[in-house]
């Protein structure tokens, strides 16, 4: 998909999809069904394979769905209908623009993980030397994370967040990031949106796989209820 402006009245917006794109398949009410990648595009249908080799639920033909397709600088959400399926892949056609493209950059996964963050740019308040402070990760994506912390940071501060455990029995993650925004959450606690810096393609892929694992476990828990 090209990140093109929304069409003017009377114009048709060009939508480009390609194999390998990350896609979230959702219900029309925005409930996640599965995360996958575009396998191929053929005869007007988009084949989206489940990313973690999990088994997909049975689906009726013409089931309406929403699909969010991702690229590095944006994403677009389209409405469509399932026209074929296997246990590993759904074919979706009749895709059309649902609303203007969203600017999340990457899908976000809500989590609750206690970590430590160090501001490497400046001494902390009160003249203390730079050190690690307890924080909590509230959500994470392939582009950044949202943390809450009692320490005061400002836009542009660079943080090192260490030993983030996302998946049980798997290596933890350490990131260099920059504070992009902050907002008071509750008394003496501020939420900070942080953007990753110098994240390699390999590290980003490892992070995406961890997020896929978290989402797969959430889907399994919902099905078991």
pLDDT tens string 11-35:
334 568 899 999 999 998 888 899 9
**21-71: per-residue pLDDT in tens?**
999 999 988 888 999 999 999 988 999 999 888 899 889 999 999 999 987
Q: Which residue has the tokens 């944006």?
A: 74
> Is the Cβ–Cβ distance between 174 and 160 less than 8 Å?
yes
Provide the pLDDT for residue 73.
64
Arithmetic mean of pLDDT, 181-205: 87
Q: Determine what percent of the chain is predicted with pLDDT higher than 90.
A: 40
β-bridge partners, 102? 75
pLDDT digit string, tens, across residues 77-128: 899 999 999 999 999 999 987 543 333 445 678 899 999 888 876 544 554 4
What average pLDDT does the segment 139-153 reach?
Answer: 90
pLDDT at 24: 92
Q: Which of 122-126, 165-169, 184-188, 202-206 has the lowest mean pLDDT?
A: 122-126
* Residue 217 exposure: Cα atoms within 13 Å on the Cβ side: 11
Alpha helices in the chain (DSSP H): 201-224
Compare 93 and 224 and report the one with higher pLDDT. Answer: 93
Q: How many CA atoms lie within 13 A of 192 on its CB side?
A: 28
Closest to 145 (Cα-Cα) out of 186, 102, 110, 190: 110
Residues in the chain: 225
pLDDT at 158 over 80: yes
Q: Please give the average per-residue pLDDT across 208-212, as a whole number.
A: 85
Specify the pTM: 0.54
SS3 assignment, position 107: coil
CB-based burial of residue 222 (10 Å sphere; 0-12 exposed, 13-18 middle, 19+ buried)? exposed
pLDDT at residue number 192: 94
The DSSP code sequence of 133-181 is EEEEEEEE-SSEEEEEESS---TT-EEEEEEE--STTS--EEEEEEEEE
- Assess contact for 46 and 61: CB atoms under 8 A: no
- Angstrom distance (rounded) from CA 167 to CA 91: 30
């Amino acid at each position: 998909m090209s990140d093109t402006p929304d069409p003017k009245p009377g114009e048709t917006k060009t939508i480009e999809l390609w194999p390998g794109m990350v896609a979230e398949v959702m219900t029309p009410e925005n409930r996640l069904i599965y995360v996958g990648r575009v396998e191929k595009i053929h005869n007007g249908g988009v084949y989206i394979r489940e990313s973690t080799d999990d088994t997909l639920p049975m689906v009726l033909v013409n089931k309406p769905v929403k699909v969010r397709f991702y690229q590095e600088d944006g994403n677009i959400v389209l409405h469509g209908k399932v026209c074929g399926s296997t246990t590993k892949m759904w074919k979706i056609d009749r895709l059309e623009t649902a609303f203007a493209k969203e600017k999340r950059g990457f899908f976000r996964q809500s989590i609750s993980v206690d970590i430590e963050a160090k501001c490497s740019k400046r001494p902390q308040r009160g003249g203390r030397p730079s050190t690690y402070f307890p924080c909590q990760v509230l959500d994470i994506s392939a582009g950044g994370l949202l943390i809450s912390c009692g320490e005061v940071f400002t836009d542009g501060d660079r943080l090192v967040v260490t030993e983030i455990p996302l998946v049980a029995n798997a290596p933890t993650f350490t990131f260099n990031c920059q504070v992009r925004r902050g907002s008071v959450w509750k008394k003496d606690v501020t939420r900070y949106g942080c953007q990753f810096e110098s994240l390699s393609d390999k590290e980003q892929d490892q992070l995406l796989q961890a997020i896929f694992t978290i989402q797969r476990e959430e889907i399994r828990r919902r099905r078991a209820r």
